[in-house]
Amino acid sequence: MFKSLIVILFGLSLALTCTAQQKFIWLTDSSPDQQPQQYRQALDVNGVTLDLLMQGVSDFKAEAVQTTTERAMAMLKTEASACAGNRLKNAERLTFSYATAIPHTVFPGLRLYSKSPSKTTAWLKQQLNDQQQLSLQHLLESDHKLHFAVGGGRSYGEQLDTLLKQPQWQHKFWQRRSVDMSAGLIDMLVQSRVDLLIEYPNVMQHYLAQQSTDTQLTSFSIQEAEPYMLGYILCAKTPEGQKLTDFFEQRLQILSQQKRYLDAHLAWVDAADREQLTGLYNQVFGTSF
């Protein structure tokens, strides 16, 4: 009788433990189980930072699901317990998701890339303003026949998103939608299928280093782009999503003050850019590394 009671109590304890643990979907464009056709190592900032955020945590358990940006945003609308990291926060996304108040990631801002020996680059240098920046609106309004590579469903920040959505310029944009979107967009530029690419410097460095050929690119500062990118964790706009958002905010508040979280960022930029990124990190998170 006593043994039976012990078994019952153990079973109840196990059931309560399992019930208390909230499982959630972590939407990412890269995964440890990535498909073979992804021929290059993905820039897995999501995975590295998630590992740090989940260390020692028993109340929540993440299940990584590899998907495109568009699909990730759609799943935040349909899955009760789902989150996506390293995402720009904008008005549209906040209609269907909660966002952490504290950033998940910080990296230098978007730049415009072209192939160095091209006529396009020579022309772009003539379009620089007094601040040595290019205005994307000016480029789009010009008669110069330029084609841009852009990511389908991706947000580039409010000002750039507004320009990229204008119907009169859609013929200038060649969109790519896939789980290896960034690598594919860079390929389009390297192979001269497009003239220009808007991308983050750390992403360009990561994928270009894996190219078999040495391609010389020139980058330009964009007038309408933010000086640095803040990525947030977005979670489904549900009670479960609110709980996850609160959890991640608490974890980010602690971890962002630790050197190992900065190191997770520094691992994805060239050595020459680490001082700049450390300065941005200190500015955003109030640290002094």
CATH architecture of the domain formed by 2-107+229-285: 3-Layer(aba) Sandwich (3.40)
Q: Decide if pLDDT at 211 tops 80.
A: no
| Most confident stretch, 6-15, 25-34, 42-51, 261-270 | 261-270
In this predicted model, what pLDDT tens digit does every residue of 230-251 receive, in sequence order? 999 999 999 999 999 999 999 9
If you search the block for the tokens 């469903």, which residue do you land on?
153
Would you tell me how many other CB atoms lie within 10 Å of the CB of residue 176? 19
Q: Measured between alpha carbons, how far is 60 from 24 in angstroms, rounded to an integer?
A: 7
- Picking from 247, 270, 267, the residue whose alpha carbon sits closest to that of residue 45 is 267
- pLDDT band for 33, please (50, 70, 90 cuts): low
Is residue 128 within 8 Å of 114, Cβ to Cβ?
Answer: no
Residue 272 pLDDT: 83
Q: Decide if pLDDT at 101 tops 90.
A: yes
* Domain boundaries, given as residue ranges, for the chain: 2-107+229-285, 110-222
When the candidates are 3.40.50.720, 1.10.287.3510, 1.20.1530.20, 3.40.190.10, the CATH number that belongs to 110-222 is 3.40.190.10
| CA-only gyration radius of the chain, Å | 22
Percent of the chain with pLDDT over 90: 67
Alpha-carbon distance values, 34 to 30, 86, 207 (Å): 6, 18, 16
pTM of the shown model: 0.82
Is residue 85 within 8 Å of 50, Cβ to Cβ?
Answer: yes
Q: Decide if pLDDT at 105 tops 90.
A: yes
- Collect all residues with Cβ–Cβ distance below 8 Å to 123 and sequence separation of at least 6: 144
Tokens of 184: 């594919």
Percent of the chain with pLDDT over 70: 87
